[in-house]
Amino acid sequence: MSECCHCQTDNWEDLERGYRTMLPEDVLAFIDANREKEHSESMLIATLHMVQGHFGHLGPGHLEAVAQLMQVPLAKVTGVATFYHYFRLQPRGKYLINVCLGTACYVKGAEKVAQKLTEELGIRFGETSKDGIFSLESTRCVGTCGLAPVVMIGDEVHGPLTPNQVPNLLETYLARAAEDLVGASTPEQK
Amino acid sequence: MSLPVRDFYRSMADRVGQTLAERGLDDKILIQVGSATCEHAAGSQTVEEEFARHIRASGRKDIVIHRTGCTGRCSREPIVGIHVPGLIPVKYERVNRDLVHRIFTEHIQNSTPVVKHILDHDGETLPEREFLFCEGARCQRSGPSLRDRFSALLEARGIEPHRVRVGAASCFGACGISGGEPATFVLARPEKVLYRLSSDEDLVALVEGHVLAGQVVERLKAKEEPIALEFLERYGDVSFFNRQSRIALRNAGVVDPESLDEYIGCDGFKALTDVLARRDPEWVINELTKARLRGRGGGGFTTGAKWALARKQADTTRFIICNGDEGDPGAFMDRSMLESDPFNIVEGMIIGGFSIGAQKGFFYIRAEYPLAIKRIQHAIDVCRANGLLGQNIMGSGFDFDMEIRLGAGAFVCGEETALIRSIEGERGQPKVRPPYPTDRGLWGHPTCINNVETFANISAILRYSGDWYARIGTEKSGGTKVFALAGKVKHTGLVEVPLGTTLSRVVNDIGGGVSGGKKLKAIQTGGPAGGFIPAAMQDMEVDFEPLQKAGSIMGSGGMIVLSEDDCMVDIAKFYMAFSQEESCGKCTPCREGTTRILEILERITQGKGEPEDLDKLHRLSRLCQRTSLCGLGRAAPNPVLSSLKHFREEFLAHIHDKHCPAKKCVALIRYEINAEKCIGCTICARNCPVECITGARKEAHVIDQEACVKCGNCFDVCKFAAIDRV
């Protein structure tokens, strides 16, 4: 759990200061802007979207900070975060692979593509590869049924895919991840 | 007396007219590139960049790129249209980097189109002119015979058919717009002139005046302006499109979805002007009732009646919600409309807000559609900046604003009470109805929830009258419906046809039939809440009631084509697995019912089915249907019940003979090598993931059935059809 659970104080100002350090600026600004508005608690899902957008997942500390700062019970925040499929409670890899298992993809052989992905990555659905680059998940229809079967990697949709194309597709992302690594380390070398 | 709203519109339209004239697109060569999620996935962004590079390199100022939404011709994307002033627009399919280069150098710079890559075109040359005859598929006009006589006339004058093409379109929807007798309408391209023909003399006048003399025959020009004129002008020659009747999708692939000016240029916000100037919500509700517009989200509740219900509430704090939580796997029309014509949806919603007396509107869009969210947000911002949203809209004194709320991947949130809970920031679990949302909805106030497609039709109905819209559909429901055609069909994409069109016309005539020359087995409509229509019933008219009678539903309009290769038990299991996973868990019949039904189906597909399973399935399904709390649970057994009804023998084959007739269920098939056909090329052995195929080179191979995991790799790679699936 978060460090704030062990705070030695029940002074709200101290607590608030602690929770504020756990969320990024734009989320804090969003929560502050909504506080005075009517039905501000209805912005919970939007807030969680922002937090996940920043961290890639919703950790226990994030949920607690959101609950405290929005003044919504933690039970409700957790309830919402676990109810909706879109929210992830575990950290995920650099690239999220979403295999579409909608009807159109299913009848066009999405299962074989899914099978190939699990083989190539050596992980099951819901898991992240050891190098932390890929997470594998399934989704129900990304609305590009004309290209079925499709796989979504990050924000990019790929299709129609055959199992044989899977290794090459993964290679391009591995290369991209490697490039990013090089790109990230060059400034340091300078 | 001048009215502030009309003045507001006039000055806005004048300003837009000026801006558009300054852009001078009519005199330039337009390169039209689609931009929507599916187009992007197919590579349209690269194509656009590549064209931009070519334009820069050529240094020409008379060539511009025009970005539009998507036309719904998914399997051929990216689609690129080349519009040269005075010539018929040419569309290319599956454009890639190389083709961009060829199109630019050969077509644009040297005026020789790359004929081989033109969308749905199989000829050597392109016609100079084209005449599209309205066949009045719905009204049985004299279209076909007039068209034949027109072709004969052309032939008699020695005009070759490849120079002047004569085509047919399903229905322009032009009849009766401005009163007068019905007639046959003909669209002449590239002049974009609509003629109204009633006799043979008119045909002669058309040939002599328009074709031979090259002059527009003023006498025959129609006063009517069909709603999809711009669309037909661009795409009318492609049979996939001209067999449709586009109303909700009229601007898709025509306007730039991020340009308010272009939307206004296509008569956008004219309907809203009329509504606000009349100041009469009853008029709107009356027109919608006359139009027989029914909710396009699946329920089919009359939109006029729903708005009237919300309007008569005593509570004056009211809300209107656009349901864009398109969760049905296999349906993507809402995404396309939100991405390709966002202003139209916004306009429909403002009109809705005015009619029911709401102060605020919410777009509920699923988070899986980032581009749709971006475009709607842009449309809202632009409308607000231009006085079309916010305080005192168009100077009418009406205050109305809207915001977007994101879904988070819960199918059940498509159900209206669950959707309301989700907007309130709660878990999306449904409530007992009544009270209906129109009585007590969002935060306890009267709330109207309509589907994206319903809103897309509003402005069209109000501009062309409810009677006009009603005439397009059937006796019980007016207008058109958009279907998302996918699965084992040749042309996947969005198809908008009048209600009452036969399934066969949608799947075979427009969709091009089953892909790969296979036989049609069934058509699944309505997603996980729908059912299967067997091939034998494909001449059925598509409307809410007939579909329900056949054990399916209209739903949001997903249409999945299944071929002889698909196992109905397996597909029923697929849908049940979906419903089971998406069940919110609040009520027992749905939570437990779907789980148990799924267990039985799994057992059957694994060859462990028992004779009494069919009765059990039937009983459980009926129980789940009758006693579940919301639509999800009540409709979840539909795929099972309809497959039991129409394909019982397949279930029996799985249970009694332990045989899957479609050879799909892995547990019930095995692969064998035909020793006579096998030449021992070893390709199967090399592709086997578990190395269970043995045999020497140039000798027949054998599969070790014990070790085989039935992946089917060998079956797919064998070039000699030596592997049998039994």
Q: Give chain B's end-to-end CA distance (angstroms, integer).
A: 81
Cβ pair B575:A103 closer than 8 A: yes
Least confident of A171-185, B250-264, B456-470, B602-616: A171-185
Number of domains within chain A = 2
Residue A6: predicted pLDDT = 53
A15 domain-assigned: yes
* Confidence band for A187, pLDDT divided at 50, 70 and 90: very low
* Torsion, Cα of B503, B506, B511, B512 (10° steps): 70
Alpha-carbon distance of B664 to B666, in angstroms, equals: 6
Please report whether residue A89 resides in a domain: no
Q: Are residues A60 and A127 in the same domain?
A: no
What is the value of ipTM here, to two decimals? Answer: 0.89
Assign residue A24 a region (left: φ > 0; alpha: ψ between -120 and 50; beta: otherwise): beta
Instruction: Output the average pLDDT for chain B.
Output: 92
Q: How confident is the model at residue B141 (pLDDT cuts 50, 70, 90)?
A: low
| SS3 state of residue B12 | helix
Residue A127: inside a domain, yes or no?
Answer: yes
Same domain (yes/no): A48, A120: no
Top pLDDT among B311 and B125 is at: B311
Q: Which SS3 state, helix, strand or coil, does residue A97 take? A: strand
Q: A121 and A45 in one domain? A: no
Average pLDDT score over residue span A136-160: 86
Average pLDDT over residues B504-513: 95
Is A73 found in the same domain as A110? no
Quick one: DSSP state of residue B556?
Answer: T
Q: Which residue of B has its CA nearest to A87?
A: B408
Mean pLDDT of the region A99-127: 91
pLDDT band at B168 (very low <50, low <70, confident <90, very high): confident
B297-302's contacts with Cβ under 8 Å and 24+ in sequence apart are B297/B323, B297/B414, B297/B450, B297/B451, B297/B453, B297/B454, B297/B556, B298/B451, B298/B526, B298/B529, B298/B553, B298/B554, B298/B555, B298/B556, B299/B631, B300/B477, B300/B544, B300/B554
Give the confidence band of B125 by pLDDT, cuts at 50, 70, 90: confident
Indicate if the pLDDT at residue A148 is higher than 80: yes
Q: How far is CA B31 from CA B43, B107, B327, B413, in A?
A: 16, 11, 34, 40
My answer on whether A107 and A34 are in the same domain is no
Counting residues of chain B whose pLDDT is more than 90, the rounded percentage is 78
Give strand pairing partners of B302. Answer: B294
- Domain shared by A116 and A166, yes or no: yes
- CB count within 10 Å of CB B125 equals 11
| Nearest-angstrom CA–CA distance, B287 and B466 | 5
Residue A9 shares a structural domain with residue A79:
yes
pLDDT at residue A190, as a whole number: 34
Give the pLDDT confidence of B170-184 residue by residue, as tens digits: 878 776 665 556 678
Q: Is A90 part of any domain?
A: no
- Interchain pair A106, B574: CB under 8 A: yes
End position of a domain, from candidates A30, A57, A83: A83
Given a contact cutoff of 8 angstroms between Cβ atoms, the answer to whether B486 and A145 are in contact is: yes
What was the pLDDT predicted at B299? 84
DSSP class of residue B365 equals E
Give the mutation candidate from A145, A156, A164 for the B interface (greatest B CB count, under 10 A).
Answer: A145
Reply yes or no: is the peptide bond before residue B435 cis, omega within 30 of 0.
Answer: yes
Please give the C-alpha separations between residue A100 and each of A80, A189, B368, in angstroms, as whole numbers. Answer: 24, 41, 12
SS (H, E, C) B165-179: EEEEECCCCCCCCCC
Q: Which two tokens stand for residue B79?
A: 């689609």
Listed in sequence order, the residues at least 6 apart from A46 whose beta carbon sits closer than 8 Å to its beta carbon are A30, B405, B406
Of A56, A83, A110, the last residue of a domain is A83
Domains of chain B by start residue, with CATH: 4-68+80-117 (3.40.30), 129-237 (3.40.30), 269-464 (3.40.50.11540), 479-566 (3.10.20.600), 569-656 (1.20.1440.230), 670-725 (3.30.70.20)
Minimal Cβ distance to B329: which of A49, A115, A141: A141
Residue A88 covered by a domain: no
Interface touch B488/A108, C-beta < 8 Å: yes
Residue A48 lies in a domain: yes
Quick one: A99 and A183 in the same domain? yes
Instruction: Enumerate the residues of chain A whose CB falls inside 8 A of the CB of residue B531.
Output: none
Q: What is the average per-residue pLDDT within B353-382?
A: 96
Range of the domain at A28: 3-83
Q: For the residues A92-117, what does the mean pLDDT come to?
A: 90
Query: Edge-to-edge strands of the sheet including B493-498?
Result: B493-498, B480-487, B558-563, B520-525, B531-534
Q: Which of A106, A118, A138, A158 to mutate to test the interface with B (most CBs of B within 10 A)?
A: A106
Q: What is the 3-state secondary structure (H, E, C) of B183-200?
A: CEEEEEECCCEEEEECCH
Residue B2 is predicted with a pLDDT of: 59
Best of A89, A112, A140 to disrupt the B interface (most B CBs within 10 Å) is: A140
* Structure-block tokens of residue A183: 């790109």
**CB atoms B370 and A48 under 8 Å:** no
B206 neighbors B150 (Cβ within 8 angstroms): yes
For residues B67 and B72, what is the distance between their CA atoms, to the nearest angstrom? 15
Residues A57 and A117 in one domain: no
* pLDDT at position A5 over 80: no
Query: Do A104 and A178 reside in the same domain of the chain?
Result: yes
**Per-residue pLDDT tens for B221-250?**
988 788 888 999 899 889 899 999 999 999
Digit-coded pLDDT (tens) for B657-712: 999 999 999 899 999 999 999 999 999 999 888 889 999 999 999 999 999 988 88
Assess whether pLDDT exceeds 80 at residue A3: no
The answer to whether residue A177 sits within a structural domain is: yes
**Per mean pLDDT, which range of B26-30, B138-142, B388-392, B436-440 is the poorest?**
B138-142
Question: What integer pLDDT is reported at residue B472 of this predicted model?
Answer: 87
What pLDDT is attached to residue B137? 57
Q: Across residues B504-529, what is the average pLDDT?
A: 94
pLDDT above 90: percentage of residues in chain A: 62
Does residue B521 contact residue B507 with C-beta atoms inside 8 Å?
Answer: no
Nearest chain A alpha carbon to B407: A45
- pLDDT above 60 (res B142): no
Give the span between the Cα atoms of B650 and B259, in whole angstroms. 53
Checking if the pLDDT of A186 tops 90, the result is: no
Q: Cβ of A106 under 8 Å from any chain B Cβ?
A: yes
**pLDDT for the residue A182:** 77
Q: Do B406 and A45 touch (CB under 8 A)?
A: yes
State mean pLDDT over A99-125.
91
Chain A residues inside the 8 Å CB shell of B564: none
Q: In this structure, what CATH number is given to the domain that contains residue A171?
A: 3.40.30.10
Instruction: Tell me which residue in A45, A119, A145 faces B484 most closely, judged by beta carbons.
Output: A145
Does A25 fall in a domain? yes
Q: What's CA B318's distance to the chain center, in Å?
A: 31
pLDDT band at A9 (very low <50, low <70, confident <90, very high): confident
pLDDT at A183 over 80: no
**pLDDT at position A188:** 42
Do A73 and A110 lie in one domain? The reply is no
Residue A48 and residue A99 in one domain: no
Tell me whether residues A119 and B711 touch, CB distance under 8 A: no
Q: Out of A83, A105, A127, pick the residue that ends a domain.
A: A83
